[in-house]
Amino acid sequence: MIQTDYKRFDSRLPIAYISGASRGIGRAIAKTFASAGYQLLLTCSHSMEQLTSLAADLEDQYLITCIPVQADMGDYAQVRDSMLSLPRLDVLVNNAGISHVGLLSDLEPQQWRHIIDTNLSSCFYTCKHAVPLMLQAHSGRIINISSVWGNVGASMEVAYSASKGGMNSFTKALAKELAPSNIQVNAIACGIIDTAMNAHLSEEDMDLLKQEIPADRLGTPAEAAHLALQLAQAPDYLTGQIITMDGGWC
């Protein structure tokens, strides 16, 4: 059972739940939301030392409450336990994700399940518990961090592409379901962002990729985070959208 002290949250201030927040895009989103005055519940599956340090730094710098929680987002029970005692929830950011590069014929069933559970099933798990809290307030924002591969697919990344394509459809369907309740659901389909997830690419491969991108560079986690905050503060009429941020690539 995950133990958390949610009594530390100030009921007068907005709360954001951000999964996969120890590094990369999730870490940048945490910093950006903290700077905007959000209280934070941050999760990661393994890097608790990094996440705990980040939470302490954000509390000191922005004078907000920031609670780090270790939870495998592909495990329903752990997600449930991380959200059970939340007093309210204004923004949910489903950012946790993993990738796998390789031939489909070499992909093992357990690897497939791990990718789908972490990237897609996790959205169901978090939303199942977030939506009732948002319905009570008749407001809320759900932001899913997707990928251009969910739009167009990627060779050698079939499972990842399938999980992000599922996330995109999940986003559109849930947005229609929740629109009458004033809860907005949108996704950001990221192109190549300069994070550790792309560390497997050689310098030569990275240079070739940059040549294909009209913006002639990779995106930054800070740019993705800025867009996530914009979605959290966007007009209520903006919902059910998959917003592609890829420097004009796809």
Angle among Cα 196, 201, 202 to the nearest 5 degrees reads 125
Cβ neighbours of 70 (radius 10 Å): 16
What's the Rg (C-alpha) of the chain? 17
- Which amino acid would we find at residue 6? Y
Return phi, psi of residue 17, to 5°.
Answer: -105, 120
Contacts (Cβ under 8 Å, ≥6 apart) of 247: 191, 213, 214, 215, 216, 217, 218, 219
DSSP 121: I
Residue 160 appears among annotated catalytic residues: yes
Contacts (Cβ under 8 Å, ≥6 apart) of 119: 96, 97, 98, 160, 163, 164, 167
Which one of 17, 38, 62, 160 is the catalytic residue?
160
On the CB side of 213, CA atoms within 13 Å amount to 19
Cβ neighbours of 235 (radius 10 Å): 7
Cα gap 194→105, rounded to integer Å:
29
DSSP 119: I
The end-to-end CA distance of the chain, in Å, is: 43
- Which residues are designated catalytic? 160
